[in-house]
A and B are shown apart, each in its own frame.
Chain A
Amino acid sequence: MQKNLSGNGKPLLELIGIDKSYGPFKVLKNCSLNVRTGETVVIIGPSGSGKSTLLRCVNQLEPADGGDLFFEGRRVDYDKRNVHLLRRDIGMVFQNFELFSHLSVVENIMLAPMKVLGMSRADAHDIAVELLGKVRIPEKADAYPDEISGGQQQRVAIARSLAMKPKVMLYDEPTSALDPEMIREVVDVMAELSSEGMTSLVVTHEMGFARRAADRIVFMESGEIIENASNSDFFGGAVNPRTRHFLDQILH
């Protein structure tokens, strides 16, 4: 997988010293992470390690308590009047898909471009159809979410996020709620986007995806980033003992 990641110097996304607490419980401790344009970073770790919370700090669904967030070189402080502007450039895919149950597949994809970007219905429809083709389920355009399989729902969710033409895609355990035979179809879409240069930050347990598509792999535990290694280093075996311990547990 040959990707040109030299970019233009500054990373697309910089998380510096991120802290987050829920009451007395410190979920994120001084987490720092850079993601360059076009890079795919996979975050792994045990549950409760704060991986999803870190992801949600990026699009400020969970605003950080401390530390800085830089997006496209500009500092982004949490401002609830303007946070929606940041989120237009950041796509997010959730473990439980969260398709809008009252809308058909194509309407799900069209909603945000129309209501957020003010796109016309016709243009939004064209984009929706094109994206459905890209995620390989064009025939399900008029189906409703509860009529399609989990793997199909997740692919629609990816298409829905892509319709906003985001600069970075966040995936929060996208395959954890899927039956095993459906994981492949979703991972294939993610890997394809990755190789096309979509900057991606993926929280997952799918080590196969990580090996295939990740430029770097980050290991988190108890709210801290323990490891931040390139794909070759990571799968070459040069890892921190705590990382090794976790990997031994999940690779069986």
Chain B
Amino acid sequence: MIPAQFDYQRPGSLGEAVQALADGGEDAKVIAGGQSLMPLLRLRLAYPSLLVDIGDLGELRGVRDDGDALVIGAMTTHYSLISDPLIRDHCGLIAEAASTVADPAVRHRGTIGGSLAHGDPAGDLPAVMAALDATMLATGPGGEREIAAADFFVDYLTTALAPGEILTAIRVPKLGGWGYRYEKFQPTAQAWAIVGVAALVRRDNGHVAQARIGLTNMGTVPVRAHAAEAAAAGAAASREALAAAAEHADEGSAPPSDLRAAADYRRHLARVLTGRALAGAAGIG
């Protein structure tokens, strides 16, 4: 289908982009790689009056070292994340999850910032950011502010970004000593996850010292599986013990029922996949 009519601007600096958004009002929308927004435009589920294309803002691309954290520019593509040496060395979970996003064409065009600002709980990166306790950096007319991942995802396709604010970067902690695994369950290779599980495990000899778990597509926002995290902490690093902890994975979630899966099946998948993800992150699966 053909999108509804819109104006288009391609500013050359972040300041100009913020100004263009402010001038455009509530009906202005940022477009980055366009891999989530374009389908919505074509289906006329979204019909902004102005698109502000941030494709020329080179300062929003790439990953930089920031001490005990990495700062990832919002315009960094999935493909860049997969092959970035800093991501590989310090936060491999992001590369592992990004490599499962859609197909190669989407991964070359789609960006981390676009994926997060879109706020789709079926996307792979929101749950990863929840598990990582990432921090979103946003710039608006009032300047820059930081938003914790736990506060960033507000509702289905809704984030804490105010109209006129642009997500510029994501700060993630370096994962020294943490194992990780992203378990994605999907009907076909190019489809959205029915359920996905991002798990991080820090081991202390034969035990799990700490676990962090983010769930994809188990509610209107990415879900932290706090009950399973608590059950995994102190558990033996064995498949049986981690599968037992994973029995709590769906507690506190409100999974949707849709064409692919009823809520009870999603809950079951979350438990099974969390057990596998924890085992993988603990280096035993």
* B and A form one assembly: no
Q: Which residues of B contact A (CB under 8 A)?
A: none
| Residues in A lying within 8 Å of B, measured CB to CB | none
